[in-house]
Amino acid sequence: MIYWFIFVWLGNLIVGGAIGNLRGRAGEGLLLALFLGPLGWLITLLLSDKRPKCFYCNEAITEGAMVCKHCGKSQNPGEYLATLKVRRKEAVEDPVDRWEREQRAQGEKTR
């Protein structure tokens, strides 16, 4: 009888830890299962996802991953910042500035 109880209790902990692990909260999943049993599993499922998110597609990825498993893009923060700077330069250029620059370039050609 006691073996059956230990078996169920361990199973409860394993399920709680596994559910927590899905959300980057293995330790909390274990603790909640320890104190609340299957109710703890539910609470773990309702907790927010603690896993880091991909810079590009915003999907949850594994802690420390170098490449996103969803979109395959590099998770190097330096690379991401570099692409952001390029994008900002493109977006920030004023259409009037651009027109003037093009006019100047044309004027230099005809001169």
Q: Contact positions toward Zn ion, by CB under 5 A?
A: 54, 56-57, 68, 70-71
Q: Which of 44, 43, 53, 38 is nearest to 22 (CA)?
A: 44
Q: Reduced to 3 states, what is the DSSP secondary structure of residue 25?
A: coil
Q: Which is nearer to Zn ion, 79 or 93 (CB)?
A: 79
DSSP 8-class letter at 71: T
Least distance (Å) between residue 93 CB and Zn ion: 28
Q: Which is nearer to Zn ion, 56 or 80 (CB)?
A: 56
Q: Reduced to 3 states, what is the DSSP secondary structure of residue 6?
A: helix
Q: Which is nearer to Zn ion, 50 or 70 (CB)?
A: 70
